[in-house]
Amino acid sequence: MNYLKKSVTEVDVRGKRVLLRCDFNIPLDKKTGDITDEGRITASLPTIRYLLGQGAAVIACSHLGRPKGKWDNSLSLAIVGRRLGELLGQEVKMAKDVIGEDARRLAENLKPGEVMLLENLRFHKEEEENNPEFAKALASMADIFVEDAFGSVHRAHASTEGVSHFLPAVSGLLLDKELYHIGGALENAARPFVAVLGGAKVSDKLDVIINLLHKVDTLLIGGGMAYTFLRARGYEIGLSICEEEKLEYTRRVMDKAEELGVRVLLPVDVRTAREYGNEEPVVYPASAIPADRMGMDIGPETEKLFADAVRSAATVIWNGPLGVFEFSNYSHGTRSVAEALAECKGTTIVGGGDSAAAIRGFGLADKVTHVSTGGGATLEFMEGKDLPGIACLLDKE
């Protein structure tokens, strides 16, 4: 995929109305409706402030939750609009609809330096259907489209791809960072290049593994998916999670890695439990997990092995926790990799989702080069897929 896309900094936005696709799909408290993590709102601020500083009028839009094409007051973006206004230090005009009379009136009267927010895009089923008429109605309110919601670019929706057929489309500052760091790592990484993959299942990372095998020098495998690899090597893994149908695939991956000269590091020891929970762990060699125990986290020796590989790398990309980090007794492996990333002098990229939540939870997000704002989008980007919300943007000249 061509990730060299024209940025908002390369086009003239002065006096123009800009349709800005943000990712305001934030977590809300189910009982109070309050925002529990405003990270995605604050991530949008640099682009909004840049546009305002350049004399543009900003029409922000986003989805929130899964209303399935129906109006749902509990998923209104009004609460986001209020918080965004507080963070910007100015009023954010909140539309009562998406493409209706109120939104159009606000957009027509919006002056340079002002911001408005459309209601939840997914209150219309046409958004996820990428309906051309809905996309055209969205686009008709603006002069230019800026894509800044990396977490949604893997979906061909009206607000991520459809509007590009009616407006010049460029990337925002947040999306620029994603393209620069992840795209740069995948295409032109400083070496040694180390990838750390975790998470529950091999099947979730099939295409990522294959793509990375042709790019990295060392591949570290942890999390639940490691036990399928260990089983494929003939090890006893007890009650640990294992995708039996992927055993032959993992053998082929390891053979391919050897053919390409890529070093694959698997756990050499693991922290185990008798059942899924936060009981006191017992460490066993990864090759001999008892029949009545399950692997829940990498062990101390593996921590050292993985941390040494990460610290000595020139480029590291990490996606997926190394154990069941939600339980304190099984968060050690994930924390050790996060700390090694923080100590690494090279380029360090955390690939969104649980990894991003973990490194933020450990208070180390500001110690790495880049923390991706994507989940599924990050994975698909790492797989080398063409993402519709990026492919539709103007190429750099």
Residue 397 forms part of a structural domain: no
Residue 149 forms part of a structural domain: yes
Give the residues of the chain that fall short of pLDDT 70.
Answer: 1
Predicted local confidence at residue 385, as pLDDT = 85
Predicted local confidence at residue 202, as pLDDT = 87
Output the six-digit token pair for 230.
Answer: 């260990």
Whether 219 and 252 share a structural domain: yes
| Residues 272/290, Cβ–Cβ less than 8 Å | yes
Whether 210 and 346 share a structural domain: yes
Residue 252 forms part of a structural domain: yes
Residue 390 forms part of a structural domain: no
Range of the domain at 185: 181-382
Whether 108 and 199 share a structural domain: no
Whether 77 and 189 share a structural domain: no
Output the six-digit token pair for 76.
Answer: 């209104």
Whether 76 and 191 share a structural domain: no
Residue 285 forms part of a structural domain: yes
Whether 215 and 352 share a structural domain: yes
Q: Please tell me the distance from the alpha carbon of residue 352 to that of residue 41, in angstroms, as a whole number.
A: 16
Whether 131 and 233 share a structural domain: no
Output the six-digit token pair for 304.
Answer: 């050292």
Q: Please tell me the distance from the alpha carbon of residue 283 to that of residue 193, in angstroms, as a whole number.
A: 30
Closest CA to 377 of 386, 365, 368: 386
Q: Please tell me the distance from the alpha carbon of residue 144 to that of residue 153, in angstroms, as a whole number.
A: 17
Q: Which residues contact 177 (CB under 8 A, 6 or more apart)?
A: 370
Supply φ then ψ for residue 344, to 5 degrees.
Answer: -65, 135
Alpha helix (H) ranges present in the chain? 39-53, 78-88, 101-109, 125-129, 132-139, 173-178, 184-188, 206-213, 225-232, 247-260, 300-311, 332-343, 353-361, 376-382, 388-391
Looking at residue 116, which CATH number applies to its domain? 3.40.50.1260
Q: Please tell me the distance from the alpha carbon of residue 137 to that of residue 129, in angstroms, as a whole number.
A: 14
Centre a 10 Å sphere on the Cβ of residue 257 and count the other Cβ atoms it contains.
18
Regarding pTM above 0.85, the answer is yes
Whether 139 and 259 share a structural domain: no
Report the sign of the C-alpha dihedral through residues 134, 136, 137, 142, in that order. positive
* Residues known to be catalytic: 40, 201, 353, 376
| Residues 153/377, Cβ–Cβ less than 8 Å | yes
Number of domains, the chain: 2
Whether 199 and 136 share a structural domain: no
Output the six-digit token pair for 357.
Answer: 């939540």
Residue 391 forms part of a structural domain: no
Centre a 10 Å sphere on the Cβ of residue 62 and count the other Cβ atoms it contains.
26
Of 127, 147, 173, which marks where a domain is finished? 173
Q: Please tell me the distance from the alpha carbon of residue 8 to that of residue 393, in angstroms, as a whole number.
A: 11
Residue 2 forms part of a structural domain: no
Looking at the chain, how many residues does it have?
397
Whether 340 and 269 share a structural domain: yes
Residue 79 forms part of a structural domain: yes
Q: Which residues contact 318 (CB under 8 A, 6 or more apart)?
A: 195, 196, 197, 198, 310, 337, 341, 348, 349, 350, 351, 355
Centre a 10 Å sphere on the Cβ of residue 251 and count the other Cβ atoms it contains.
13
Q: Which residues contact 108 (CB under 8 A, 6 or more apart)?
A: 141
Predicted local confidence at residue 205, as pLDDT = 86
Of 114, 142, 173, which marks where a domain is finished? 173
Of 146, 173, 200, which marks where a domain is finished? 173
Whether 96 and 185 share a structural domain: no
Supply φ then ψ for residue 85, to 5 degrees.
Answer: -60, -40
Coil, strand or helix at 76:
coil
DSSP 279: P
Q: Which amino acid is at 276?
A: Y
Whether 231 and 128 share a structural domain: no
Predicted local confidence at residue 297, as pLDDT = 98
